[in-house]
Amino acid sequence: MDGFYYHKYDATGLAELIKKREVTGEEVFKEALIRIEAFNPSLNAVVHKFYSKALKQINNLEMTNTPLSGVPMLLKDITQDVKGERITSGSRANQHFRAETDSNFVFRLKEAGLLPMGHTNVPEFALMGVTEPEFYGPARNPWNIKYTPGGSSGGSSAAVASGMVPVAGANDGGGSIRIPAAYCGLFGLKPTRGRTPVGPSQGRLWQGASSEHVLTRSVRDSALILDLIHGDEKGAAFLAPGYEGSYVKEMAVPLHKPSKIAFSVKSPIGTAVDHECKEAVLKTVRFLEKSGFEVEEKDAPVDGKKIAQSYLTMYFGEVAATLSQLEQSLDRKITMKDVEPTTWLLGMLGKATSAQEFVLNLKEWDTAALAMEEFHETYDFYVTPATAMPPAKIGELQVKPSEKLLIKLVASLRAGKLLKKSGAAEQLAEESLMRTPFTQQANLTGQPAMSVPVHKTGNGLPAGVQFIAAKGNEQKLFQMAYFLESTDLWIKADENPFYSL
> pLDDT at position 409, please?
73
486 confidence band (pLDDT: 50, 70, 90)? very high
Amino acid at 348: M
How far is it, in rounded angstroms, from Cα 499 to Cα 295? 35
61 confidence band (pLDDT: 50, 70, 90)? confident
pLDDT at 385 over 90: yes
> pLDDT at position 3, please?
59
Question: Cβ neighbours of residue 180 under 8 Å, at least 6 residues apart?
Answer: 131, 149, 150, 151, 152, 153, 154, 156, 157, 170, 186, 188, 215
Long-range (24+ apart) CB contacts under 8 A made by 107-112 are 108/197, 108/228, 108/229, 109/73, 109/169, 109/225, 109/228, 109/229, 110/57, 111/66, 111/228, 112/66, 112/67, 112/68, 112/225, 112/228, 112/229
Is 210 one of the catalytic residues?
Answer: no
Average pLDDT score over residue span 334-345: 92
Residue of 89, 103, 176, 432 marked active site? 176
431 confidence band (pLDDT: 50, 70, 90)? confident
Average pLDDT score over residue span 337-365: 93
How far is it, in rounded angstroms, from Cα 132 to Cα 134? 6
2 confidence band (pLDDT: 50, 70, 90)? low
Lowest mean pLDDT among 97-106, 219-228, 488-497: 488-497
Residue of 69, 76, 110, 218 marked active site? 76
Q: Where are the domains of the chain?
A: 6-237, 304-362+398-433
pLDDT at 493 over 60: yes
> pLDDT at position 428, please?
64
Residue of 69, 91, 103, 152 marked active site? 152
State pLDDT tens for residues 30-48. Answer: 999 999 999 999 999 999 9
Sheet with 449-456: list strands edge to edge: 46-49, 115-120, 72-76, 167-172, 211-216, 187-190, 449-456, 462-468, 381-385, 260-263, 294-297
> pLDDT at position 30, please?
96
pLDDT at 1 over 80: no
Average pLDDT value for the chain: 93
* Helix or strand run (H / E) with residue 342: helix 341-351
Quick one: 6-237 is in which CATH superfamily?
Answer: Amidase signature (AS) domain (3.90.1300.10)
pLDDT at 389 over 80: yes
pLDDT at 323 over 80: yes
Average pLDDT score over residue span 304-323: 94
Is 30 one of the catalytic residues?
Answer: no
> pLDDT at position 402, please?
74
Cβ pair 248, 222 in contact under 8 A: no
pLDDT at 169 over 80: yes
Between 443 and 420, residue with greater pLDDT: 443
How far is it, in rounded angstroms, from Cα 233 to Cα 231? 7
How far is it, in rounded angstroms, from Cα 138 to Cα 399? 14
Average pLDDT score over residue span 451-471: 97
Is 76 one of the catalytic residues?
Answer: yes
